């Protein structure tokens, strides 16, 4: 976001959540992110902030953090978006690739970078599918949460980042 002129800051402790206008939960290692959130007692404040309506963009591991359920292997999640994901659902690191995804609801088709990407295998009716690849949802929205299987920060133009920055999640 900083490359788009948006001020950013790291969130490591509860006080870092104060006065946020939006939140990005990035890619990375989701199990480590969950452990750090637990160690730093961020789980409950983070969930409360998301439930309050703060615009959130969750990418790759961020999607795993917020999913209702995680498979392959099973792991804990925060359950803030009503979907089920499989970790590394599109393969291991060597299977990482750029794919052309099909946009829905006014979003154009666009390139997306999948890096050991989670696969969304189930979405509730309350979850809007905004883009698909190979018949799978890869960009979804539920209320104030926009969640992607891919890394939207690695392509330009990025309709996903544009959507998040221009309209929050709606």
As annotated, the active-site residues are 60, 151, 153
Output the CA–CA distances (angstroms, integers) from residue 12 to 38, 43, 151, 159, in the order listed.
11, 11, 21, 28
DSSP assignments along 129-154, one per residue: EEEEETTEEEEEEETTEEEESS-GGG
Long-range contacts of 136-141 (CB under 8 A, 24+ apart): 137/83, 138/101, 138/112, 139/101, 139/107, 139/112, 140/81, 140/83, 141/169
- The tokens for 88 are 């590394």
Check residue 14 and report its DSSP letter.
Answer: G
Q: Which has the closest alpha carbon to 153: 166, 145, 162, 144?
A: 162
Tallying the residues shown for the chain, one arrives at 170
> With contact defined as beta carbons under 8 Å apart, do 145 and 169 qualify?
yes
């Amino acid at each position: 976001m900083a490359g788009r002129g948006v001020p950013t800051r790291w969130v490591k402790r509860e006080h870092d959540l104060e006065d946020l206008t939006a939140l990005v939960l990035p890619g990375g290692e989701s199990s480590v992110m969950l452990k750090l959130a637990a160690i730093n007692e961020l789980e409950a404040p983070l969930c409360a902030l998301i439930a309050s309506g703060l615009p959130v963009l969750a990418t790759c591991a961020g999607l795993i953090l917020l999913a209702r359920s995680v498979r392959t292997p099973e792991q804990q999640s925060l359950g803030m978006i009503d979907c089920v994901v499989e970790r590394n659902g599109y393969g291991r690191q060597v299977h990482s690739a750029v794919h052309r995804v099909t946009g829905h609801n006014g979003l154009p088709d666009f390139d997306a970078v999948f890096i050991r990407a989670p696969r969304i295998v189930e979405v509730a009716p309350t979850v809007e599918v905004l883009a698909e690849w190979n018949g799978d949802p890869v960009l979804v929205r539920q209320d104030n949460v926009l969640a992607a299987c891919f890394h939207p920060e690695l392509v330009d133009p990025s309709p996903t980042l544009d959507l998040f920055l221009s309209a929050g999640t709606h």
